[in-house]
Amino acid sequence: MRSIFKRKSLFPVGVLLFLLLIVACAKAPITNRTQFIILPQAFEMQLGASAYLSMLETEKVSPNKHYARVVTRVGQRIAAVSHTPNLRWRYTVFDDDRQVNAFALPGGKIGVYTGMMPVAKTDAGLATVMAHEVAHATARHGGERISLGLLLEMGSAALASAMRKKDEKTTSRVLAAYGVGSTLMVALPFSRKQEAEADRIGLIYMAKAGYDPREAIPFWERMGAAGGGSPPEFLSTHPGYRTRIKNLRRWMPEAMEYYENSEKAPNNRIVIAEKSRR
């Protein structure tokens, strides 16, 4: 009776997961990687919009109008050639010179910190950043990360349930090991894979938008120089700069084909020329 009960109790869960796999499978643009996304895109976009409004309340928006114009100009040009030009794209520059960073929220909300501008230097450098973030939004990487997190939580809950008759100390150790293992073996490698994918998709997008994709390599070299010390790659959410540049060189021939057939954009216009103008 016990084994029969277990089979009956597990059967609906197995069916549910199978149905989720059927419903949630998607394909990433350019790479055609199969994705597992549980959240409906409408809900995903709602989460992104809510997070964006929260950031507008807690972060200072830069008063630099030149920055706002150039980020919007480059972002719009790249989004127009992406696979999702009709998302509700919005581009915001946040005032923090110490943050050499940018981000994408589900649904097309892109943020760039002022600390990124001296590293970007030119339109093409900024296009590298913007295309990478547009790629994250277009490929629904945010929803994919949430889906993975839910699966890992389900695994933790199932493990805790299976060990409910064990002593507390043993259970605690096993769950801690699961947490470390799932982070090192699943979550971090998956994050690095997404980042590499955004690099590749972004390289194609910037090329299609008319920005010279070869400028992506000196940009990442500047990022590496600005980043200082970094953890070992296997402990990081992002590929190392050497790995990124090696990948970009490998993908460059494909990107150059798009660039040669594009309507050329200004590549080397200096984006920080008016930094002091407020």
Specify burial of residue 57 (Cβ count, 10 A radius: 0-12, 13-18, 19+): exposed
> Quick one: pLDDT at residue 50?
96
> Quick one: pLDDT at residue 234?
65
The β-bridge relationship of strands 90-94 and 34-36 is: unpaired
> Quick one: pLDDT at residue 243?
95
Residue 128's closest CA among 75, 170, 85, 190? 75
Round to the nearest angstrom and report the end-to-end CA distance of the chain.
75
Buried b (16+ CB within 10 A) or exposed e, 236-249: eebbbbebbbebbe
Rounded Cα gap, residues 36 and 9, in angstroms: 24
- Contact between 210 and 262 (Cβ < 8 Å): yes
pLDDT per residue, tens digit, the chain (278 aa), is: 443 334 444 444 454 455 455 555 789 999 999 999 988 999 999 999 999 999 999 999 999 999 999 999 999 999 999 999 999 999 999 999 999 999 999 999 999 999 999 999 999 999 999 999 999 999 999 999 999 998 888 888 888 888 887 888 888 888 888 888 888 889 999 999 999 999 999 999 999 999 999 999 999 999 999 875 566 776 789 999 999 999 999 999 999 999 999 999 988 887 765 444 44
> Quick one: pLDDT at residue 228?
57
Rounded Cα gap, residues 156 and 150, in angstroms: 10
For the annotated catalytic residues, the residue numbers are: 133
> Quick one: pLDDT at residue 268?
80
Residue carrying structure tokens 């057939």:
261
Long-range interactions of 44-47: CB distance < 8 A, separation 24+ = 44/106, 44/107, 44/140, 44/142, 44/143, 44/146, 45/87, 45/88, 45/106, 45/107, 45/108, 46/107, 47/106, 47/142, 47/146
> Quick one: pLDDT at residue 132?
98
Hey, what are 260's tokens?
């040669």
